[in-house]
Amino acid sequence: MTTAVSGKRTRTIGVLAMAFATLIATGCARFDDSASSPFSPAPSFNSGGDLNPNGPKPPPTSSTPPKRPTGPCIDPDPNVVATCLDTTGGLVVMPDGQSALVAERRTGRILQVAPEKPPVEIAKLDVDASSDGGLLDLALSPTFGEDGLIYAYITTGSDNRVVRIAQGDVPKDVLTGIPKGATGNGGSIDFANPNEMLVLTGDAGNPDAANDPASLSGKLLRVNPNVGPDPKTPQVALSGIGVAGDVCTEPGGNIWVTDRTATEDRLQKVDKNGVVVSPAWTWPDRPGVAGCAVSAGAVAISLTGAKAVAIVPVDPGTGAVTAAPSLVAQDKYGQLGGAGLGPDGTLWASTVNKTGGQPGPNDDRVVKIPVPAGGGGSD
Bridge-based pairing state of the strands 298-303 and 308-313: antiparallel
Give the single-character DSSP code of 61: P
Q: For 65-120, what is each residue's pLDDT tens digit? A: 555 555 679 999 999 999 999 999 999 999 999 999 999 999 999 999 999 999 99
* Cβ atoms of 238 and 268 closer than 8 Å: yes
Question: Is it true that domain 14-31+83-369 has CATH number 1.10.10.10?
Answer: no
Task: Establish whether the linkage from the previous residue to 364 is cis, with ω within 30° of 0.
Answer: yes
Say if CB 272 and CB 192 are below 8 A apart. no
C-beta of residue 86 within 8 angstroms of C-beta of residue 354 = yes
Parts of the chain with a pLDDT under 70: 1-71, 230-232, 371-379
Burial class (CB in 10 A: 0-12, 13-18, 19+), 145: middle
Angle value at C-alpha 361, between 360 and 366, nearest 5 degrees: 75
Q: Give the neighbor-by-neighbor strand order of the sheet with 135-140.
A: 135-140, 150-155, 160-165, 172-178
* Maximum C-alpha span of the chain: 59
- Report the predicted TM-score, pTM, of the whole model to 2 decimal places: 0.82
What is the pLDDT at residue 4? 38
CA-closest candidate to residue 170, choices 290, 51, 37, 76: 37
